[in-house]
Amino acid sequence: MATQAAGITNETVHLLPQTRQLRALHTIIRDRNCDLERFVTTSGRIIRQLVETALDLLPFEPYGVQTPVGQTYHGLRPVKPICGVPVVRAGESMEHELRAMSPGVRIGKILIQRDKVTKLPRLYYSALPADIDRHSVLLLDPMLATGGTALAAIEVLLAHGVAEDDIVFVSLLSAPEGIDAVHARHPNLRIVTSAIEERLNENAYMIPGIGDFGDRYFGTD
């Protein structure tokens, strides 16, 4: 994995271009004094960039349309329907933006919580479209820390017949440890992220980090 600041890093880790504007948005949400409303609106702006980048990684096929001036526009359309799968709870922040961008999108849910003491993920529930194996899947979780939650969620998708190639994991912050953990088991799985952090601290939180994304987004603690 490379961590160059310019943008896309390699075939499997797609880091958003580290523009000044993106860094300014990160500066707002990483500030411990950022209030709830600003956190939601600003993280939403980053999430939309992540989702657009993830959508661009999906397969497209040629598709022509007639323009109002009687010409053909030789365009593209996605080959497969798209299904968003948020890891509840924090992933629902991304579901909110995906649905705003694409109101007809199908949504599956996977409820996984990280144990507060052991930091190990616990799977409580999943509800996915019966034909999810025919979709391109955006797996949505803003935090990739140890990678335990991501791996557990990926296992759920694979168990439902989704091909590894059809999954794009979308995360706002990623720790090198989490990226490595995902790629140790799934070397080709694509990850889109807006920041690669320094490392995890002793409590398995990312640093410099953002704290607990779910608590900050939903106003709980």
Per CB under 6 A, 213 contacts ligand URA: yes
End-to-end Cα distance, the chain: 34
Among 145, 154, 156, 167, which residue sits at the site for ligand URA (rule: CB under 6 A)?
Answer: 145
Residue 142 corresponds to which tokens in the numbers above? 């803003």
Strand, coil or helix: 142 = coil
In whole angstroms, how close is the CB of 63 to ligand URA at the nearest point? 39
Per CB under 6 A, 177 contacts ligand URA: no
Q: Which does 148 bind (CB under 5 to 8 A by kind): ligand PRP, Mg ion, ligand URA, none?
A: ligand PRP
Per CB under 5 A, 205 contacts Mg ion: no
Residues that bind ligand PRP in the complex, under the rule CB under 6 A? 87, 89-90, 113-114, 119, 121, 141, 143-150, 178, 204, 212-214
Whether the CB-CB separation of 98 and 168 falls below 8 Å is answered with no
User: Alpha-carbon distance 74 to 21, whole Å?
Assistant: 33
Residue with Cβ nearer ligand PRP (61 or 202): 202
In whole angstroms, how close is the CB of 97 to ligand URA at the nearest point? 17
Among 13, 214, 216, 217, which residue sits at the site for Mg ion (rule: CB under 5 A)?
Answer: 214
Catalytic residue numbers, as ranges: 114, 118, 212, 215
Among 212, 216, 219, 221, which residue sits at the site for Mg ion (rule: CB under 5 A)?
Answer: 212
User: Alpha-carbon distance 157 to 168, whole Å?
Assistant: 11
Per CB under 6 A, 169 contacts ligand URA: no
Per CB under 6 A, 39 contacts ligand URA: no
Q: Which does 149 bind (CB under 5 to 8 A by kind): Mg ion, ligand PRP, ligand URA, none?
A: ligand PRP
For 41-108, give the DSSP string: HHHHHHHHHHHHHHHHTS-EEEEEEE-TTS-EEEEEEESS-EEEEEEETTTHHHHHHHHHH-TT-EE-
Q: Name the residue among 26, 52, 51, 49 with its Cα closest to residue 39.
A: 26
**Neighbouring C-beta atoms of residue 67, cutoff 10 Å:** 9
Per CB under 5 A, 209 contacts Mg ion: no
Which residues would be at the binding site for ligand URA (CB under 6 A)?
A: 143, 145, 205-206, 209, 212-214
